[in-house]
């Protein structure tokens, strides 16, 4: 569903406010591709897994158990990182699969309550809009 002109204007205003507040964060986020990041992370975990096998075999060839254990731990850790990365790659394109955040214990502000920061008011508006659609 496309944004209305008012929502688009508010979104651009929010972007400008964020850019003014933290320009380093904004420039870092513009250059980030989530799928590429997790793909790179999965490949590096695969390389780490292979290195873990090498360390494990080195520990088996040499009569040194500690080196073998270190290699095994490297393999398990890299498998875990690769599995998480692959899961996140598959979820990166499907934003509907992300579960909604748990309900917060904060009280919801009313329309007449103008105290709070700009971001809190935007979050409250978004929360109300999402609740109305359900």
CB within 8 Å of 49: residues ≥ 6 apart: 74, 75, 78, 79, 82
pTM listed for this prediction: 0.48
Average pLDDT, the chain: 80
Distance of CA 122 to the CA centre of its chain: 21
Q: How long a stretch of residues is the chain?
A: 134
Helix spans in 22-117 (H):
23-30, 34-61, 65-92
**Which single residue is written with the structure tokens 């103008």?**
114
CB within 8 Å of 112: residues ≥ 6 apart: none
pLDDT at position 89 is 82
Between CA 11 and CA 122 the distance in angstroms is: 10
Kindly indicate the confidence band of residue 44, based on its pLDDT and cuts at 50, 70 and 90.
very high
Question: Could you report the per-residue pLDDT of 68-110, keeping only the tens digit for each?
Answer: 999 999 999 999 999 998 888 887 655 444 445 555 555 555 5
The answer on pLDDT for 132 being more than 90 is: no
pLDDT at position 98 is 46
Nearest Cα to Cα of residue 11 among 134, 132, 131, 129: 129
Q: What is the mean pLDDT of residues 40-67?
A: 93
Q: Are 32 and 58 in contact (CB under 8 A)?
A: no
pLDDT at position 68 is 92
Between CA 67 and CA 63 the distance in angstroms is: 9
Between CA 108 and CA 104 the distance in angstroms is: 9
């Amino acid at each position: 569903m496309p944004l209305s002109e008012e929502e688009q204007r508010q979104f651009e205003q929010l972007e400008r406010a964020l850019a003014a507040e933290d320009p380093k964060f904004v420039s870092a986020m513009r250059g980030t591709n989530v799928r590429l990041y997790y793909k790179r992370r999965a490949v590096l975990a695969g390389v780490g897994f292979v290195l873990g096998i090498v360390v494990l075999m080195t520990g088996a060839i040499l009569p040194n158990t500690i080196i073998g254990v270190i290699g095994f731990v490297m393999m398990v850790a890299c498998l875990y990182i690769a599995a998480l990365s692959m899961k996140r790659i598959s979820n990166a394109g499907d934003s509907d699969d992300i579960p909604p955040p748990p309900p917060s214990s904060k009280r919801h502000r009313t329309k007449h309550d103008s105290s709070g920061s700009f971001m809190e008011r935007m979050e409250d508006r978004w929360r109300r809009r999402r609740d109305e659609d359900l």
